[in-house]
Chain A
Amino acid sequence: MYSLSEIETTSKRASKAAGYSWGMAEEIGKATSSLELFGLQGVKNLNQYLNIIKEKHPEKIFKIERVNKYDELCPIYCGVAFLDQVQEIEPLRKITFYNLSYPILILAFISSASAVLGKKILVQFSNSSFLMNFNKSIFAMNLDSQVIALASEISIEILDNEDSFSNDEWQELSKLSEKTFVEESDSLKEKGAGAGLLDND
Chain B
Amino acid sequence: MNKLDIKHRDPNEIMKLSRLGSFHQSKLSFLRSFIREFKNWDYKNNLFELDLNGNGSAIYSFSRKDRVYSLVCFSQYIDPDERSDRVIANKWDAAFVLYDGIPSTKDINRLRKNVPKQELGRVSCSELALSRANKSVRVFDHVVEALSQGTQPDKKLLNKVGYLYRTTAVYGSGKFGLADRFRIKDRKEIYGPFRLEMMLVYLVRQFTFDQVNHIAKSKNPKKAVELDLDIARNLGIGNSTGLGMAPFIINHPTLLHNWIYSRETALKEIRSIEKVDQAAFNLFKYCLDKSKAMIESWQTESQFQNHKINLLNQGLVQFDQFLEKKFSIKDKYPWNNIYIWASNNLQDEALEYIVSMVMEPYDDIINPLINNMSSDEEKYFTIPGHKKISDLRSILEKNYKSFLEIDFNEKINNTNFWFISKNKAEPRIANRYEDFGGDLEQPLAIARDIKQLYEKIILEEQTSSISNFLSKNDEFRHVIRRAFIAEKCPYSEIQDNTIGDSLVPIDMLRLKLSFFGAVKFDPRSDKWLRINMYQGAPLSHEMKTSHDTWIYNVAS
Chain A interface residues toward B at CB < 8 A: 1-6, 13, 21-24, 26-27, 30, 60-63, 80-81, 83-88, 112, 115-116
Contact = CB atoms under 8 A, between A and B. Distances in A.
Contacts of B160: none
Contacts of A24: 474, 477
Most chain B CB atoms below 10 A, which of A5, A81, A83, A116: A5
Nearest to B177: A3
B478 interface: yes
B381 A30 contact: yes
Given A30-B381, A85-B385, A6 B174 contact: yes
A116 B387 CA distance: 13
Contacts of A60: 471, 474
Given A6-B177, A23-B478, A30-B381, A84 B182 contact: no
Contacts of B174: 3-6
A88 B469 CA distance: 14
A22 B443 contact: yes
Interface string B452-481: 000000000000011110111011111111
Contacts of B481: 23, 26
B72 interface: no
A157 B241 CA distance: 51
Nearest to B172: A5
A27 B177 contact: no
Interface of B: 124-125, 173-182, 378, 381-383, 385-386, 420, 443, 465-468, 470-472, 474-481
Given A3-B177, A87-B386, 19 more contacts: A1-B124, A3-B174, A3-B178, A3-B179, A22-B475, A22-B478, A23-B443, A23-B476, A23-B480, A24-B477, A30-B381, A60-B471, A84-B383, A84-B385, A84-B470, A85-B385, A85-B465, A88-B386, A115-B382
Nearest to A34: B378
A83 B385 contact: yes
* Interface of A (DSSP majority class): helix
A85 B386 CA distance: 7
A24 B386 CA distance: 18
* Interface of B (DSSP majority class): helix
A88 B465 contact: yes
Contacts of B476: 23
Contacts of B125: 1, 3
Closest 4 CB pairs of A and B: A23-B477, A5-B174, A3-B174, A84-B385
7 contacts: A1-B177, A3-B125, A4-B174, A23-B477, A30-B378, A85-B471, A115-B382
Given A3-B180, A4-B182, A22-B443, A83 B382 contact: yes
B357 to A, nearest CB: 37
A80 B177 CA distance: 28
Nearest to B124: A1
Contacts of B176: 6
Given A3-B180, A5-B175, A26-B481, A21 B474 contact: yes
Nearest to B377: A30
A6 B386 CA distance: 31
B475 A21 contact: yes
Contacts of A62: 471-472
B471 A81 contact: yes
Nearest to A87: B386
B478 A21 contact: yes
B474 A23 contact: yes
Contacts of B466: 84
Contacts of A87: 385-386
B457 to A, nearest CB: 15
Given A3-B125, A83-B382, A116-B382, A21 B177 contact: no
A63 B471 contact: yes
Contacts of A84: 383, 385, 466-467, 470-471
A116 B475 CA distance: 23
A6 B172 CA distance: 12
B125 to A, nearest CB: 7
B514 to A, nearest CB: 25
Given A3-B178, A5-B174, A84-B470, A26 B385 contact: no
A81 B383 CA distance: 11
Contacts of A6: 174-177
A61 to B, nearest CB: 8
Nearest to A63: B471
B536 to A, nearest CB: 34
Contact of A86 (B173, B179, B385, B474): B385
